[in-house]
Structure 1
C-alpha cells in the first residue's frame, strides 16, 4: 500500500511539473510603437497661380527631387530675391511656345506650364545661361522612379520670360514657393 501511494504521489508530482512546463507561453506586450504614417499636406488646389514681378538675373538650371508626399521642380535663378521672382504656373491642354505659338508635345496625363519671369540668357550679351533646347527634355533631369512627374520640355525664353512644360500623371494639386535664388513647384502624389 505504501508502494502504491509513493507511485501515485510521484505520478502526481510528475504530471504537475510536466504540465507547468508545457503550458502555453503568454506573449509579452509589444514595446515598440508602430511606425507613424506619413501625413501629406492637402488644400493646395490645382488652379493656376501667378505672382507679378521681374527678376534682373537669369535662369541657369532646372532640377527635380522626390519627397514622401510630392515631386519637386526647381528653377535656379541665382541672385534673384524672392520678392522679385515672378511666375505663372497652371495646367494647360497643350503647351505652346511663347513667341511662335508652336505646339510642344509633353507626355503625361496632364501638362503643367511653368513660366518664370526671368530670361534664360544674359540681357547684356544675349548669351544663353541655360542649356535647354526648345521642345526637348530638360538637360540633366531624369524622372525615373518619380511618382507624379512623367516628362519635361523646354519652351524657350522670350521677352524675359522662360517657359517649361512639366508632364504629370494627372491633374494633381500643386504649390509654388518663391525663394531667394530659385522658384519651387511641388506637385502632390495624390489628392
Structure 2
C-alpha cells in the first residue's frame, strides 16, 4: 500500500475530526421552558396594598415583581392589543411588539385611602435598560381595589405568574417572561 503524503494525512485527520467532533454549544443556556403564552388568573381579592414594583434579569427570563404588605393577591396576566388604565380606560402606550396587561386584585392605597405606592415615573416604573425581553413597565393606576400595570415586551413569549410569601408580612406577585420559546 502506498504511503500518503504528510499534508494529505493531516488534512484527512482534520476533516475526519470535523465530522465526528461534537458541535459547540450555543451561548444561550437550555431552559426547558414550557409555560405558554395564554392568560394566567387567580381570582382571590385582597386588601394588601402594593408597596413596590421591581425587576430582575435571569439567564432564561426577565422578572417583574410586585411587592404587597400582607397576603398574596389574585391576578390576571395576559397578552392584549392595548393595556387600559384603571378608572379612565385610557390606552397606555408601551414599547415592544407585545403588551402584557397585569391586573393585580389589590389596591395601591391603604384603608384610609392614602397611597402606599406612588411611582416616580408612571411611564417607566423600573429601569429596563439591557433587558433581553422587557421593554417598558408603565403604571395603569389603582381604582376600587384593582391595580393595573402594563408591560411591553419584545415579542409574544411564554410567561409564568406565581406568588411568594416573603418576610415581615410582605408577599410578592412574580411575573417571568422567557427570553425565547
- With the shorter chain as reference, the TM-score category is 0.7 to 0.9
Instruction: Indicate if the aligned counterparts of 1:96 and 1:102 stay in contact, CA closer than 8 A.
Output: yes
Q: Distance in 1 between matches of 2:147 and 2:80?
A: 16
Q: Find the counterpart in structure 1 of residue 133 from structure 2.
A: 148
**Alignment partners' CA distance in 2, 1:171 and 1:47:** 10
Stretches of structure 2 that go unaligned for 5 or more consecutive residues are: 1-23, 166-170
Is the aligned partner of 1:58 residue 2:49?
yes
Q: How does 1:25-44 map to 2 (within 5 A)?
A: 38-44=29-35
Between Structure 1 and Structure 2, which shows a larger proportion of strand residues?
2
Post-superposition CA distance 1:1-56 (Å, at most 9, x none): xxxxxxxxxxxxxxxxxxxxxxxxxxxxxxxxx99972213210001110010122
Whole-Å Cα distance in 2 between the matches of residues 92 and 134 of structure 1? 23
Given the alignment, which residue of 62, 66, 77 partners 2:68?
Answer: 77
Query: How much does 1:135 deviate?
Result: 5.1
Asked if 1:93 corresponds to 2:81, the answer is yes
**How far apart, in 1, do the equivalents of 2:121 and 2:132 lie?**
25
Q: CA deviation at 1:99?
A: 1.7
User: Once superposed, which parts of structure 1, at least 4 consecutive aligned residues long, lie more than 4 Å away?
Assistant: 34-37
1:62 partner SS: strand
Give yes or no for contact 1:105–1:135 (8 Å, CA) kept in 2.
no
C-alpha distance in 1 between matches for 2:122 and 2:81: 16
Q: Distance in 2 between matches of 1:65 and 1:159?
A: 29
Q: CA RMSD in A?
A: 1.9
Equivalent residue for 2:114?
Answer: 127
In the superposition, the TM-score normalised over structure 2's length comes to: 0.79
Query: Which runs of 5 or more residues in structure 1 are unaligned?
Result: 1-33
Question: Who is 1:14 aligned against?
Answer: none
CA distance in structure 1 between the aligned counterparts of 2:142 and 2:120, rounded to whole angstroms: 10
Judge conservation of contact 2:99–2:153 (CA < 8 Å) in 1.
yes
SS in 2 for 1:77: strand
Aligned residue pair count: 152
2:56–2:64 CA contact under 8 A, matched in 1: yes
2:39–2:76 Cα contact (<8 Å) kept: yes
User: 2:21 maps to what in 1?
Assistant: none
Considering only CA atoms, is the larger Rg found in Structure 1 or Structure 2?
1
| Other-structure match for 1:184 | 174
SS in 2 for 1:75: strand
